Amino acid sequence: MPDYRQDTLKLSHAEPLDEAAMQAFDSNVRGQVILPDDAIYKEARTVFYGGFDRHPAAIVRVKDASDIARVVSLARESGLELAIKSGGHSLAGHSVSEGGIVLDLSEMKNLEVDTEGRTAWAQTGLTAGEYTAAVGAHGLATGFGDTGSVGVGGITLGGGVGFLVRKHGLTIDDVLAAEIVIADGELVYVDAVSHPDLFWAIRGGGGNFGVVSRFRYRLHEVGTIVGGMLILPATPEVIASFVAEAEAAPEELSTIANVMVAPPMPFLPAEAHRELVIMAMMVYAGEVDEGGRAVAPFRALATPLVDTVEPKPYPEMYEPMGPGPDEEVARSLFIDSFDGNAAEMIVEYLQASSAPMAVAQLRILGGAMACSIG
């Protein structure tokens, strides 16, 4: 099979972007070329995590796949590093480059919804919140992550573990096709029949295979859900019991449990500030009455400090949020089981941490994700 990743990485020695070359390039793209001297440059190079203070040689806010191809060709010919920005949430800072070229997809927001066929073509500049609100108007959804401002391009290529993971699987399980600009600037349509190797690659094979301009997603019926935030006092016993209840819950219920020392959040009682809590985000994607019964065991673990879990439209789970922290360090791993000893270890580490905010996030998976065959 063709080695798309190797081809994409074949960048020549770096050449400076002189003024004449950039003027010629600018005249050939529909989108906006932003250079260091432009008034909007500082805003354009900003990403979600504030700790990345990088200065790209050029930022191109592309309008279509042809623009993407031209930017890829410019990066290939100049040898400059190419960064791709969708929502700008890369924890490793991959959304912006120091001295390279940023291909900014944020202006590419076209969405075509086929309500009868339950599919949608979505350009990769859309955020998860924008997409979810638009298809949610039809009572439909594709599962993304848990943050509305994340770009669908990044979250999809990262796999996509979110509020519907136990009911409908990963985001990549709902990718039916894609259009990708590969290293030589060609726009390629991929699905299970056309370029199946590249279709496999973008659903978990790693990075640097190309730039996806749009995805075709499967849509599921998701109207009113039972969901929201549940905050409980945290002890090792409550943490272990929460995980056990989440494992035993129907697959319609997906939970994200953040065990943390509570900051002084305005909606949290003052007496709970600086105390250990479980801040859980919960979504039951099924019948409302059954959702209430599924959530009841969690409310019984301890007296809730905050409880916003109630029937609501699914898009309301993606509430607006401000910029991210200046710095975040995260480690992720899968474990086969969770018990009281693991809960005690979490409590011990959190209480000993000197970080401004330390969190142990527990995502109980299984369900449709465990049945996925990719």
**Distance between CA atoms of 329 and 300, rounded to whole angstroms?**
33
Please give the pLDDT value at position 303: 96
Q: Where in the chain is the domain with CATH 3.40.462.20?
A: 224-371
pTM check: above 0.85: yes
Cα-Cα-Cα-Cα dihedral sign, residues 149, 152, 157, 158? positive
Find, among 353, 340, 339, 358, the residue nearest to 277 by Cα: 358
Q: 224-371 has which CATH code?
A: 3.40.462.20
Please give the pLDDT value at position 206: 74
Question: Which architecture characterizes domain 19-104 according to CATH?
Answer: 2-Layer Sandwich (3.30)
Stretches in the chain below the pLDDT threshold 50: 1-13, 373-374
Q: Reduced to 3 states, what is the DSSP secondary structure of residue 283? A: strand
Please give the pLDDT value at position 4: 42
Q: Reduced to 3 states, what is the DSSP secondary structure of residue 214? A: strand
Q: Where in the chain is the domain with CATH 3.30.465.10?
A: 111-221
Please give the pLDDT value at position 207: 78
For the domain made up of 111-221, give the CATH fold.
Answer: 3.30.465
Please give the pLDDT value at position 247: 96
Please give the pLDDT value at position 19: 75
Please give the pLDDT value at position 15: 61
43: CB partners within 8 A, 6+ apart: none
274-329 pLDDT tens trace: 999 999 999 999 999 999 999 999 999 999 999 999 999 999 999 877 777 777 77
Q: Where in the chain is the domain with CATH 3.30.43.10?
A: 19-104
